[in-house]
Amino acid sequence: MAKRYDCVVLSCDSLSVYKHIDIASAKPTLEERQGVVHFGLDVVKPNQKFDLFDFVKCYKKAKRYAKKNKQNLAIVGGSGFYLKALTTGISLLPKADKVAKQKIKASMLDTQECYRFLSSLDPNYIRKISTNDRYRIEKAITIYHTTHQAPSRYFATNPPQPVSKDIKVFNLTIEKNILHKNIESRTAQMLKHGLLDEAVSLENRFDRGCQPMGSIGIKECMSYLDGDIDMFELQDTITQNTKALAKQQMTYNSSQFDNITTADIEKLKKDIDNFVL
């Protein structure tokens, strides 16, 4: 489709941005890319930070390239949170000085206590954040220590600005039984092609505390290596967790985007033809 519509591709996948994570992310190989220029792949090492703001940088880089070469830009992938940020915008975090950075670091030593403090400070805002969402907890405490304001008050006076106002979203649907069979097949293929070896290599080279080490496929391999589950349970757990993620993604996509067309692949092909050509 990228060739048909003369596109460059931006991967909207929160795991494919990491180098050395190829099997767990189902990252397209060079052969599968068929010469199409891709952005958002192999951007950082697993022990390096990558967040929403970094994804926006990837988008702007891809957009500049597409415009310079008079091509279209196709954004493809399942990380709806990234795509949502492009369409509705993001609020820039205030810059922390040395004192604020020390306070943030000290607060994040105990995320549960930090979460309790934020709950008393700004209960309505924190209610939307899970207790183990370290990224958003740190974002909230950063706002407090930098501005001395509750996060909800800060965002009220610093509303998000859309990064792009002209993104058309096409949402692919697939029958549940077919989707589940695809997930089961994909999990089996990942293990066959060396998912465990990839996980061992990542553990040897990087700390288990790195953000991508908690991703589906990798975290289950860690449980297997620890002896908590056997090989059968490994494959089954990855499969079930992937099915749950797919359900979350479909729910998110259907509820978060206004400018969206939802259909099966054949209908979407026609809709995209009408939109692009």
- 64 and 133 both lie in a single domain: no
- 198 and 252 both lie in a single domain: yes
| Final residue in a domain of this structure, among 157, 181, 197 | 157
- 110 and 136 both lie in a single domain: yes
Question: Do the domain assignments include residue 46?
Answer: yes
Question: Do the domain assignments include residue 2?
Answer: no
Question: Do the domain assignments include residue 1?
Answer: no
- 69 and 103 both lie in a single domain: no
- 28 and 149 both lie in a single domain: no
Contact 257, 169 (CB under 8 A): yes
Question: Can you read off the two tokens belonging to residue 39?
Answer: 């952005």
Question: Do the domain assignments include residue 182?
Answer: yes
- 124 and 57 both lie in a single domain: no
- CATH of residue 147's domain is 1.10.20
Q: What is the extent of the structural domain holding 117?
A: 98-157
- Cα 218 to Cα 207: distance, rounded to the nearest angstrom: 13
What was the pLDDT predicted at 166? 83
DSSP for 110-169 reads SHHHHHHHHHHH-HHHHTTS-TT-HHHHHHHHHHHHHHSS-HHHHHHHS--B-S-S-PPE
- 168 and 259 both lie in a single domain: yes
- Say how many domains are in the chain: 2
- 79 and 118 both lie in a single domain: no
| Final residue in a domain of this structure, among 157, 172, 204 | 157
Question: Do the domain assignments include residue 70?
Answer: yes
Question: Do the domain assignments include residue 44?
Answer: yes
What was the pLDDT predicted at 176? 95
- 67 and 127 both lie in a single domain: no
pLDDT values of the chain reduced to their tens digit, one per residue, 277 residues: 999 999 999 999 999 999 999 999 999 999 999 999 999 999 999 999 898 889 999 999 999 999 999 999 999 998 998 998 898 887 777 889 999 999 999 999 999 999 999 999 999 999 988 888 887 899 999 999 999 999 999 999 988 888 888 899 999 999 999 999 999 999 999 999 999 999 999 999 998 889 899 999 999 999 999 999 999 999 999 999 999 999 989 888 888 888 899 999 999 999 999 998 8
- 148 and 46 both lie in a single domain: no
- CATH of residue 195's domain is 3.40.50.300
CB atoms within 10 A of CB 120: 8
Strands 169-172 and 260-263: parallel
What was the pLDDT predicted at 220? 98
CA-based nearest residue to 118, from 102, 96, 133: 133
- 213 and 241 both lie in a single domain: yes
| Final residue in a domain of this structure, among 134, 157, 180 | 157
Dihedral of CA atoms 263, 266, 268, 274 in degrees, nearest 10, equals -140
- 174 and 258 both lie in a single domain: yes
Does the pTM of the predicted model rise above 0.85?
A: no
